[in-house]
A and B are shown apart, each in its own frame.
Chain A
Amino acid sequence: MQMPRKIRVMIAKPGLDGHDRGAKVVARALRDAGMEVIYTGLHQTPEQIVQAALQEDVDAIGLSCLSGAHDVLFPRVMELIKENGMDVLVTAGGIIPKEDLPMLKKSGIAAVFGPGTAIEEIVKFHREHIKQRT
């Protein structure tokens, strides 16, 4: 019997925002939960993120942005994902006003984890939603 493949998640920091505390905490938590985690590092363009996700063949991408540039950068990532025909779960986190949530949902982002979200909740969400997809 073949062992099931580990869930592969990419944590990505689009834009110029240098706040990586939350992204790193989430990355560590997903890793501790038995997933394979790739962290892009800072200052990535949407193109770089999607390229890396393709190469790494990830099941999920977690986007993190605290600078307020999410309104431009996140939809751009989603566009590129669609253009490349990728089947990947995308979640987001950071300082994101609730007025922006409908727009982000519409672009295809599955969940937005705001400040104060328990990391266990993020882990659980990945387990449940990635399992459903396969």
Chain B
Amino acid sequence: MALSLREKESDPADRNVLQETFREWKRKFDEEIRAGKQRRDKFYNLSWMEIEPLYTPQEDFDYDAKLGNPGHYPYTRGIHENMYTGKLWTMRQFAGFGSAAETNRRFKYLLSHGETGLSVAFDYPTLYGYDTDDPHSEGEFGKCGVAVSSLEDMQALFSGIPLDKVSTSMTINGPASVLWAMYIATGEAQNVPKSVLRGTIQNDVLKEYIAQKSFIFPPEPSMRLVLDTFEYGMKEVPLWNTISISGYHIREAGSTAVQELAFTLADGFEYVRQGIERGLDPNMFVPRLSFFFNAHNDFFEEIAKYRAARRIWAREMKERFGLKNERAMKLRFHTQTAGCSLTAEQPENNIVRVALQAMAAVFGGTQSLHTNSLDEALALPTEKAVRIALRTQQIIAYESGIPRVADPLGGSYYVEWLTDRMEEEAYAIFDDIEEYGGVIQAIEMGYFQKAITESSYRYQRELEKKERIIVGVNEYTVDEPLNVPILKLDPKGRDKQIERLKRLRNGRNKRRFQEAMDTLRKTAEGSANTMPAILAAVKAKATLGEVTGVLREVFGEYREQHII
């Protein structure tokens, strides 16, 4: 039936009828507005695009060029022919706190409740490449994630979890290659060869400078480390995604959906460009690039964002970079619901927000999903809160019927219009970035950081003027005490970890350790791939802080300019 309607719409006689009926609708609509029956003069989405009250068929809509069927270029409707009827998205809850042993228990808890992939949150010292006993780690042990300072910690983290059976995502950037090396070595200790390991390291340093700010080295050596992982992964760990190019943090830092889309893809193009410059075959390494997006409250805007992302990526890979491998054109992405959208006020309302956001991700064709827990505006999630979050995904997967159809909103007049608009505005931002001379120059000149700061400030102002309503925050507030249980960490965790580190340093083979560190330094000073030397160092029981320390000495540290 859908086909006959399309034919009808393109028939000029019928188009006249459509235009006629539209005019009639508009006349009555304007009458209503004149009578004051409109809540506001104008409506805007979260990217400040003006949204019309009604969308109708676009006259020159070209199905094949703009959408294509699922699994076919330009992949607007999804990267697989069968989408979720073949395989549901991976339910991958981000988890980590305190020691490796505590986090290992949480992993097993989540797996026992039906989680289908692991996702590791590291604490701040680990993200910056510091050991727990480093002075910089003061006060931060295990607070926002798990502390992993050594191969021993990594082994404890995955104790009893067979690495050939799960896929693991690790949110690690500056020291990504070191943590990845520890994971590979943990696999070896379990007799799992690296050729079968599946998972993702985030490894997206560009967005660190733009938004998340857990950078270590300046851009150039950071990019070298990233390209080293691309190259090593392609040859040695073929099923591993060596990067997750992340818009998530860009959005959390306060960007709009359009900025998230454009900045992330621009970062993606930069990795492809530099990979090619390095001499890597893009048809080989680009298929191992994956993406990570945010899912905020504005339901349709989010769906349009994912659809536009796939279309833009496919076109750029094919037309700008001339890639032939279809896999390289398919943008695969993980989604996390928006932490910044959650409210400390009336935290139970967050369950509803997360459900809506998760639905947007599924309508948008995500490959994996993390749903936030209701208490995350307050602390790390408790077991009960994280179970509700996981159940939210399971209810969407098994009860809602949404995953029965690929791209169920495809053909919605509004969604198609909005997808086009997102794409158009993303290209305008690509042009801006080009004017700065590319992503790295734009970072160094503060373009991204300034744009994000502007957006977040504007948004906050609108909340305070009640131009936007957040239920329970600036409207429908209640004056009642907060009553949500908060997760407590083992207060002795840090001391025990420091004790373990001491034992590790005293007990290792000093000669083997020193040789590995010397080789690492020489490799870093030269131009060979750093991965083998890093792997050898972690196997010689060098700690994260020691390995990163050598790299800091060779590469230097990055300091950002302060933009407010």
A15 cross-chain contacts in B, Cβ below 8 A: 124, 138-140
Looking at chain B, what size class is its interface with the partner chain? 35 or more
Which A1-31 residues have a C-beta within 8 angstroms of B?
A: 11, 15-21, 24-25, 27-29, 31
Contact A69–B139 (Cβ < 8 Å): yes
B352 at the interface (CB under 8 A from A): no
B460 at the interface (CB under 8 A from A): yes
Contact B138–A37 (Cβ < 8 Å): no
A98 cross-chain contacts in B, Cβ below 8 A: 482
A68 at the interface (CB under 8 A from B): yes
Q: Please name the 9 residue pairs, one residue from A and one from B, whose CB atoms are nearest each other, closest first.
A: A72-B139, A18-B213, A68-B143, A69-B139, A16-B124, A41-B562, A115-B344, A27-B564, A69-B140
Bound-complex Cα distance A95 to B378 (A): 6
CB within 8 A of B562: which of A40, A73, A95, A119? A40
Contact B482–A39 (Cβ < 8 Å): no
B137 cross-chain contacts in A, Cβ below 8 A: 16
Which B307-344 residues have a C-beta within 8 angstroms of A?
A: 340, 343-344
A99 to chain B, nearest CB (A): 8
Which B204-242 residues have a C-beta within 8 angstroms of A?
A: 212-214
Bound-complex Cα distance A67 to B482 (A): 20
Which B131-178 residues have a C-beta within 8 angstroms of A?
A: 136-140, 143-144
B379 at the interface (CB under 8 A from A): yes
CB within 8 A of A16: which of B127, B379, B486? B127
A41 cross-chain contacts in B, Cβ below 8 A: 559-560, 562
Contact A42–B343 (Cβ < 8 Å): no
CB within 8 A of B213: which of A39, A42, A45, A69? A42
A11 cross-chain contacts in B, Cβ below 8 A: 564
Bound-complex Cα distance A87 to B120 (A): 43
A contact residues vs B (CB 8 Å cutoff): 11, 15-21, 24-25, 27-29, 31, 37, 39-42, 45, 67-73, 76, 95, 97-99, 114-116, 118-120
B457 at the interface (CB under 8 A from A): yes
Contact A97–B378 (Cβ < 8 Å): yes
Known: A25-B457, A69-B124. A42 touches B560 (CB 8 A): yes
Contact B564–A68 (Cβ < 8 Å): no
Bound-complex Cα distance A19 to B562 (A): 13
A97 cross-chain contacts in B, Cβ below 8 A: 378-379, 486
Bound-complex Cα distance A119 to B252 (A): 18
B456 at the interface (CB under 8 A from A): yes
B559 cross-chain contacts in A, Cβ below 8 A: 41
A37 cross-chain contacts in B, Cβ below 8 A: 564
Bound-complex Cα distance A70 to B253 (A): 20
B294 to chain A, nearest CB (A): 13
Contact B564–A31 (Cβ < 8 Å): yes
B340 cross-chain contacts in A, Cβ below 8 A: 21
A73 to chain B, nearest CB (A): 5
Contact A115–B343 (Cβ < 8 Å): yes
CB within 8 A of A119: which of B128, B464, B482, B560? B464
B523 at the interface (CB under 8 A from A): no
Bound-complex Cα distance A118 to B453 (A): 17
A69 cross-chain contacts in B, Cβ below 8 A: 124, 138-140, 143
Bound-complex Cα distance A9 to B335 (A): 38
Bound-complex Cα distance A28 to B564 (A): 6
A70 cross-chain contacts in B, Cβ below 8 A: 139
B381 at the interface (CB under 8 A from A): no
Bound-complex Cα distance A71 to B214 (A): 21
